[in-house]
Amino acid sequence: MIDSNLPRFSQGLQALVLALAFLLDVRLVVPILGLVLLAAVVGGPRYNLLARLYRVLPIPRGEPEPAAPPRFAQVLGVTFLAIGTAGLYAVEAESTGWWLFGWGPALMVAVLSGVAATTSF
């Protein structure tokens, strides 16, 4: 069981960071965020940097909820950010493939994270 506000906080932060990375063309954010999510998936709450940040901030605590749905979302996020990382670094910059296979998956994570954070999905 996890705090119900933790996934909303993490997803909102992910959406914001990825959107800013896209706008500022800071490609390094994509693999770093992918590694942060991978650590959370593999190591659980102990290695979740976003959960640690959540705990130190003065955010009201929510009700307990099952951890499985947010963990599944993290697995999808890791997968798409890995595809985005490969696209951003393996394909020629500013090409169609770079946009489709690089920023495309990363922006999908940003949009889905933003929707999940604001709608409690």
Instruction: Say whether 7 sits in a helix, a strand or coil.
Output: helix
Q: 61 and 5 in contact (C-beta within 8 Å)?
A: yes
Give pLDDT tens digits along the chain (121 positions). Answer: 888 889 999 999 999 999 999 999 999 999 999 999 999 999 988 899 999 999 899 888 888 888 888 899 999 999 999 999 999 999 888 899 899 999 999 999 999 999 999 986 6
Single-letter amino acid code for the residue at 86: A
* pLDDT of res. 121: 62
**Distance of CA 108 to CAs 3, 15, 47, 76, Å?**
25, 9, 24, 10
pTM for the model stands at: 0.91
* pLDDT of res. 4: 85
Q: First vs last Cα of the chain: how many Å apart? A: 16
What are the structure tokens assigned to 55, written together?
């705990």
Instruction: Say whether 60 sits in a helix, a strand or coil.
Output: coil
Cα(22)–Cα(82) distance, rounded to whole angstroms?
A: 16
Cα(15)–Cα(18) distance, rounded to whole angstroms?
A: 5
